[in-house]
Chains A and B, each alone.
Chain A
Amino acid sequence: MKKPLIIGGIISVIIAVIALSALNLDSTDTVMENTSPDSFVSPLSFSNLITSDTPLKGDPLAPITLIEYGDFQCPNCGRFARDTSPQIEASYVESGQVSIAFKHFPVVGPDSKPAAMASQCANDQGMFWEFHDELYNNQGHENSGWANRDNLKQIASDMGLDQQSFDSCLDSNKYQSLVEKDLSLAKQIKFTGTPSFLVLKNDGSKPQALTGAYPFATFQKIFEDNLN
C-alpha cells in the first residue's frame, strides 16, 4: 500500500521543483502599469523616483535610467555591484546612454536599514557610490554584525568622511523616512527579491521591472531594445 504513496511523493517533489522554478520565472520580468491619470505625477515617473536625495550616476538626461532597489546585506546585490554594474558603466553610463540610480529595499535583516541610512549620510558628503562600493566589496555574511552602526561609522571614518557629520546624521536617523519610503514603493511595485530594477525611459513609456541579479548580457539586450 505504501509504495504508490512513496512513488507519488517523489513525483510530487519533482513537480514542486518545476513549479517553484516556474514561480520564480513569473516574478522576474514585468512591464509596470502606470495607472495614474496624466494630470497627476505618476508614482513611477522619473521626477517622482529621482529626487535630490537619490544617488545617481551618469547623465541625468540619459535616455534610459536604471534604478536598482538593493540591500547592502544582500549577496546577490553584491554580485551585481561587483560584476555587472561596472560593465554597464563602461558600456552605457560613460557614453551617456544610461544613468544608474540606487534606491533602498532593506529586507535582509535588522542591519539593512542602518546601512541604507548610512549610505544616504555618505551621499550628503558626495560619497554615496564610494561608500556603496566599500560596503559591497567588503560584504560579510547576512546579519553577522558587519553592517551594524558602529562598523558603518568605522567604515565611513576609514574612507575619510567627516566623522562628526556622518555620526550625527546616522544617530539622528535623518534618512529613516526616505528609506521607509523607498521600501514602501518597492513593496507597492511588488518586487519579490533583491536586487530589483526599474528600467525607465525618458519618453514617459511604461517602466520595465526586473527582479534578480541578471548578468550584463540581459541588461545589454534591454538597453539595446530600448535605445533602438
Chain B
Amino acid sequence: MLSSFKLVFQNKFYIFLASIIFTSFWIMFSVLGELLFFSPVFIFYLPPDAIFVFILSNIISALMGIVLSMNVYILKNTMVKMSKSSFVGSTVGMAAGGCASCSTVGFVLLTSFGAVGVAASTFLSVYQIPLLIGSIGLLLWSYNSIHNKLTKSCKLKGNGT
C-alpha cells in the first residue's frame, strides 16, 4: 500500500500540495469547531469535549491532503479517471465537521431554511462522529482505489487470449 504513496510523494510538488490542502482543511475544521480563533487574540483551544472530534478531523485533513494530491498526480501523469470517493469523503467530512448548529454554517442552515435547516443541522450534529468515521472510510477506500490504479496492471477480459 505504500508503494503508490512513495511514487507520488517522491516529487516535492505533491508534498507541498498535500501540505497546503491539509493546512486549509485543518484551519477550516478548527475555526468551524470553535477551537482556533484569530481575533481578538490568536489562540488555539482544545476543550475536553472536543478532543475526539478534533482527532477525527485531523485524520480527515491528512487523508484529504494525501488523496487529493494523489488524484492530481493521476490526472497529470496517467490516462485513468479520477477517484470519485475522495470527493464524496471530503464532502461528508466537511459537512459533518463544520455544521454543528452553533457554528456560523449551522446558524445559516437554521435561520435560512426553517424546518429543513433544523432537520439538516440536527442530523449533522447528532451523527457528527459516525459521519466523520464514514468520511475516513471513504477516503481510505479512495486511497486504495488510487493505489490500485497506480500499481496494478490492466487485466485482459476472458481467458487472456
- B-side interface residues, number (CB < 8 Å): 45
Q: How far is the CA of A28 from the CA of B36 in the complex (A)?
A: 12
Q: In the complex the two chains form, is B125's CB within 8 Å of A77's CB?
A: no
Confirm or deny: B75 has a beta carbon within 8 angstroms of a beta carbon on chain A: yes
Cβ contacts under 8 Å, B34 to chain A? 76, 79, 212-214
Q: How far is the CA of A25 from the CA of B37 in the complex (A)?
A: 8
Q: Assuming A107-B110, A109-B118, A110-B118, is B105 touching A20 (CB within 8 A)?
A: yes
* 9-residue interface stretch from B8-16, B17-25, B149-157: B17-25
Per DSSP, chain B at the interface is: helix
Q: In the complex the two chains form, is B125's CB within 8 Å of A75's CB?
A: yes
Q: How far is the CA of A214 from the CA of B76 in the complex (A)?
A: 43
Q: Assuming A10-B72, A17-B25, A76-B102, is B43 touching A192 (CB within 8 A)?
A: no
B97-120 vs A: 1/0 string, CB under 8 Å?
010111111111011000000100
Q: How far is the CA of A13 from the CA of B110 in the complex (A)?
A: 23
* 9-residue interface stretch from A49-57, A91-99, A217-225: A217-225
Cβ contacts under 8 Å, B90 to chain A? 13
Q: In the complex the two chains form, is B104's CB within 8 Å of A24's CB?
A: yes
Q: In the complex the two chains form, is B40's CB within 8 Å of A29's CB?
A: yes
Q: In the complex the two chains form, is B107's CB within 8 Å of A194's CB?
A: yes
Q: In the complex the two chains form, is A79's CB within 8 Å of B47's CB?
A: yes
B42-56 vs A: 1/0 string, CB under 8 Å?
010101111000000
| A107-132 at interface with B (beta carbon < 8 Å) | 107-110
Q: In the complex the two chains form, is A218's CB within 8 Å of B37's CB?
A: yes
Identity of the chain A residue whose Cβ is nearest the Cβ of B75 in the assembled complex: A3
Confirm or deny: A18 has a beta carbon within 8 angstroms of a beta carbon on chain B: yes
Q: How far is the CB of B69 from chain A (nearest CB, A)?
A: 9
Q: How far is the CA of A210 from the CA of B121 in the complex (A)?
A: 22
Q: In the complex the two chains form, is A221's CB within 8 Å of B125's CB?
A: no
Identity of the chain B residue whose Cβ is nearest the Cβ of A77 in the assembled complex: B102
Confirm or deny: B82 has a beta carbon within 8 angstroms of a beta carbon on chain A: yes
Q: How far is the CA of A222 from the CA of B94 in the complex (A)?
A: 32
Confirm or deny: B146 has a beta carbon within 8 angstroms of a beta carbon on chain A: no
Cβ contacts under 8 Å, B103 to chain A? 24, 76, 193
Q: Could you count the A-B residue pairs with CB atoms below 8 Å apart for me: how many are there?
A: 127
Confirm or deny: B126 has a beta carbon within 8 angstroms of a beta carbon on chain A: yes
Cβ contacts under 8 Å, B41 to chain A? 217-218, 221
Cβ contacts under 8 Å, A45 to chain B? none
Q: Which of A17, A107, A218 contacts B40 (CB 8 A)?
A: A218
Q: How far is the CA of A82 from the CA of B47 in the complex (A)?
A: 10
Q: In the complex the two chains form, is A108's CB within 8 Å of B110's CB?
A: yes
Q: How far is the CB of A87 from chain B (nearest CB, A)?
A: 12
Confirm or deny: A159 has a beta carbon within 8 angstroms of a beta carbon on chain B: no
A53-87 vs B: 1/0 string, CB under 8 Å?
00000000000000000010111111100110000
Q: How far is the CA of A194 from the CA of B109 in the complex (A)?
A: 13
B118-161 vs A: 1/0 string, CB under 8 Å?
10011001100000000000000000000000000000000000
Confirm or deny: A48 has a beta carbon within 8 angstroms of a beta carbon on chain B: no
Q: How far is the CB of A228 from chain B (nearest CB, A)?
A: 15
Cβ contacts under 8 Å, A173 to chain B? none
Confirm or deny: A143 has a beta carbon within 8 angstroms of a beta carbon on chain B: yes
Q: How far is the CA of A47 from the CA of B39 in the complex (A)?
A: 29
Q: State the A residues within 8 Å of B (CB).
A: 3, 6-7, 10, 13-14, 17-18, 20-21, 23-25, 27-29, 71, 73-79, 82-83, 107-110, 141-144, 192-195, 210-215, 217-218, 221-222
What 4 A-B pairs are tightest by C-beta distance, nearest first?
Answer: A76-B102, A215-B45, A193-B107, A74-B102
